[in-house]
Amino acid sequence: MAMNWRRIKTEMEFQEAFADKTFVGEGAVFTIHSDGRMTGGIGDSHFLGQWYWDSGYFCRTAILDGEALELDCEVIEILANQMRYTRGKGAGRSTVVTIA
């Protein structure tokens, strides 16, 4: 039986599946903290961010090596120990990361 990605629709689902876990993928290592912080790095660059849940989307802002990244709200999906996030409320690029 094939497993399928399942969309996370509520903050409670998100917190249960992903909060306070560290993720790895595409050169990044980061943690999404239950208190609304994000910390980690991409290659040699470090980032800090904030996240919140809004109308079914994971919304985040971040600073990467001192440069502010724009607000982005993303569709979040789960498959086993992986998270797939799709930028632009599901219309942008998708990235898959694995719980470390």
Residue ranges and CATH numbers for the domains of the chain are: 6-99 (2.40.128)
Q: What is the dihedral of CA 48, 85, 45, 22, to 10 degrees?
A: 70
Using one digit for the tens of pLDDT, what is the confidence trace for 34-85? 999 999 999 999 999 999 999 999 999 999 999 999 999 999 999 999 999 9
Specify the pLDDT at position 100. 94
Radius of gyration of the chain (CA): 13
User: Model-level pTM?
Assistant: 0.93
* pLDDT for residue 1: 62
**For range 89-99, the mean pLDDT:** 97
